[in-house]
């Protein structure tokens, strides 16, 4: 397995462009990563990367080897998947990503039940509201809400997710009740928005008499953590734009109330993204099927 591990490390170094990042990805040290690349270069009799103090770039031979190395790893994964499928004993590790709200409320609570059904499968869950590059970060699959950029990833739609604009009664008492999109962009109201490098939604799309319309909203606070925005709204600092399932308990208790009801937000979709080759892995397919059923059940409740 030493050669396979060396090839796997090479692929991650090539894709991430950084020895330390590849070492973290493979859960080892930079020294081990460097040693594996050196062993591979010695075996091949050629340099695969040009190294400087600040950067690492593949050589011409490195680029050529990367194309074949990917096929080697895919072939090994397919062979392992076939054996696991035949033996009905899926095992290994799944690397998964999800937005914070989706991960905390839908994915994480269901993972122990999946582990109980398939004890030989380990799971590594990463939560972030930032945009995740599924391929570059070596993920088996990622859950996603909102608009999608064009990609070669396989998409499985899990459910439509209604969204709501809401605020605390204390905020409404102080600033008034907005009824439409035009009210939101007036100086009277503060909107709390999810912002991070690479974010695509800098406007809120609301349904009006003439159909969907985009509004450039502003406010005093922004965050890259959706739950932080919810807490600010609960404290009366502004209006949030949220999937209903994320704030359902607060709406039921009256801690938050719908606003701008004449212009409700357009709904979004919860989807699962995966590199196409990953879907041939039985443990990936088992996890996707399990989570699709659990998410649909939770969202329908």
Using one digit for the tens of pLDDT, what is the confidence trace for 121-167? 999 999 988 878 887 788 889 999 877 765 678 888 888 899 999 99
**Are 89-157+269-300 and 163-266 in the same CATH fold?**
yes
Which of helix, strand or coil describes residue 214?
strand
Model confidence band, residue 247 (pLDDT cutoffs 50, 70, 90): very high
The whole model's pTM is what?
0.68
What pLDDT score does 53 carry? Answer: 67
What pLDDT score does 164 carry? Answer: 95
- Asked if residue 216 lies in contact with residue 202, where contact means CB atoms within 8 angstroms, the answer is yes
Q: Residue holding tokens 């937000």? A: 265
More confident residue, 218 or 166: 166
- Asked if residue 244 lies in contact with residue 299, where contact means CB atoms within 8 angstroms, the answer is no
Tell whether domain 89-157+269-300 is in CATH 3.40.190.10: yes
What pLDDT score does 92 carry? Answer: 87
For residue 260, give the nearest of 138, 194, 167, 188 by alpha carbon.
Answer: 167
Instruction: Point out the least confidently predicted range of 148-152, 198-202, 266-270.
Output: 198-202
Q: What is the pLDDT of residues 155-165, one digit of tens each?
A: 888 888 999 99
User: What is the average pLDDT score of the chain?
Assistant: 86
Class of domain 2-86: mainly alpha
Q: Which two tokens stand for residue 2?
A: 């030493």
Q: What is the pLDDT of residues 42-79, one digit of tens each?
A: 888 888 888 876 678 888 888 888 888 878 777 777 66
pLDDT(236) > 60 = yes
Q: Which fold has domain 163-266?
A: D-Maltodextrin-Binding Protein; domain 2 (3.40.190)
Q: How far apart, in whole angstroms, are the C-alpha atoms of residue 295 and residue 282?
A: 20
Mean pLDDT of 107-118: 94
Mean pLDDT of 241-270: 93
| Residues pairing with 257 in the sheet | 167
The H-assigned helical ranges of 27-110 are 30-44, 60-87, 100-102
Domain boundaries, the chain: 2-86, 89-157+269-300, 163-266
Q: Residue holding tokens 């404290």? A: 235
pLDDT(85) > 70 = no
């Amino acid at each position: 397995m030493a050669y396979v591990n060396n090839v796997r490390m090479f692929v991650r170094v090539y894709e991430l462009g950084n020895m330390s990042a590849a070492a973290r990805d493979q859960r080892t040290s930079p020294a081990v990563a460097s040693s594996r690349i050196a062993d591979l270069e010695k075996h091949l009799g050629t340099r695969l990367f040009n190294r400087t103090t600040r950067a690492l770039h593949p050589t011409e031979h490195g680029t050529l080897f990367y194309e074949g190395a990917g096929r080697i790893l895919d072939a090994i994964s397919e062979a392992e998947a076939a054996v696991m499928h035949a033996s009905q004993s899926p095992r290994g590790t799944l690397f998964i990503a999800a937005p914070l709200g989706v991960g905390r409320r839908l994915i994480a609570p269901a993972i122990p039940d999946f582990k109980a059904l398939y004890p030989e499968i380990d799971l590594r869950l990463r939560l972030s509201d930032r945009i995740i590059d599924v391929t570059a970060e070596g993920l088996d699959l990622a859950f996603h809400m909102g608009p999608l950029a064009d990609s070669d990833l396989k998409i499985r739609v899990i459910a439509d997710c209604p969204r709501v604009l809401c605020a605390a009664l204390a905020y409404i008492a102080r600033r008034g009740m907005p009824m439409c999109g035009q009210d939101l962009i007036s100086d009277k109201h503060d909107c709390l928005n999810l912002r991070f490098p690479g974010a695509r939604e800098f406007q809120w799309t609301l349904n009006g008499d003439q159909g969907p319309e985009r509004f450039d909203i502003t406010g005093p606070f922004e965050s890259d953590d959706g739950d932080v925005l919810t807490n600010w709204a609960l404290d009366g600092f502004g209006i949030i734009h949220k999937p209903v399932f994320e704030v359902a308990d607060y709406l039921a208790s009256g801690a938050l109330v719908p606003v701008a009801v004449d212009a409700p937000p357009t709904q979004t979709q919860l989807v699962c993204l995966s590199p196409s080759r990953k879907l041939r892995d039985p443990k990936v397919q088992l996890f996707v099927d399990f989570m699709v059923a659990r998410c649909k059940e939770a969202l329908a409740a």
